[in-house]
Structure 1
Amino acid sequence: MEQEMPEHEQDGQEREFDLRWADSAEHKEPSARARMLAARWKHNPPGPVPFRPEPDHRSRGRGSRSSWVSTAVVLGCVAAVIVLLGYLNFRAPY
């Protein structure tokens, strides 16, 4: 007497077969998004996008000063919070 396989095992085997068949295909169709972008860029290609922004040609100037100012502001805020917490801890009743 031949024993039948449960339905979920048959589905699993068929799915595995389909995946192997699909993976072995010589030509793979691009995704819908890739097809949409290819059609859009055919008539209106995107401009170049640099990996990094263009460097600032000023060697010294406002750009280098602003980084020091922002660093000083952050460190000043951290110091103020530490002093405030120390003051509140000092005034708290024991």
Structure 2
Amino acid sequence: MSEQDDAEREFDLRWADDARHKEPSARARMLAARWKHDPPGPVPFRADPDHVTRPRSPWLSTVVVLGCVAAVILLLGYINFRAPY
């Protein structure tokens, strides 16, 4: 019975994919209605140079990660040293 259901679902998917007219999604319809009355303004391709921030150094994140790993190792060593045997 499951093979028959799979075959029917496959047929329905092929039938839907082969449709001549495909209805737009709800978001596309909403945006089309909104833009009909209030079209969006032009958007620049690139950001203004005033808004561009200086990228961080990749070494900063490496130092932070290695520092955290060293702190965890030292903390675990301190806890192991203080633990009574």
Residues 84 and 48 (structure 1 numbering): CA distance in 2 closer, same or farther, change over 3 Å?
Answer: same
Please list every run of 5 or more consecutive structure 1 residues that lacks an aligned counterpart in the other structure: 1-12
Aligned match of 2:24: 30
Aligned match of 2:66: 75
SS at 1:79 equivalent: helix
- Deviation beyond 4 Å, 4+ runs, structure 1: 15-24, 46-50
SS at 1:29 equivalent: coil
Residues 74 and 81 (structure 1 numbering): CA distance in 2 closer, same or farther, change over 3 Å?
Answer: same
Structure having the higher Rg: 1
Please give the root-mean-square deviation of Cα atoms over the aligned residues, in Å: 4.0
Q: Quote the offset at 1:87 in angstroms.
A: 1.5
Query: Identity of counterpart residues, as a percentage?
Result: 70
2:78 corresponds, among 87, 90, 93, to 87
Query: Scaled by the length of structure 2, what TM-score is found?
Result: 0.51
* Matched residue count: 77
Q: Quote the offset at 1:31 in angstroms.
A: 2.3
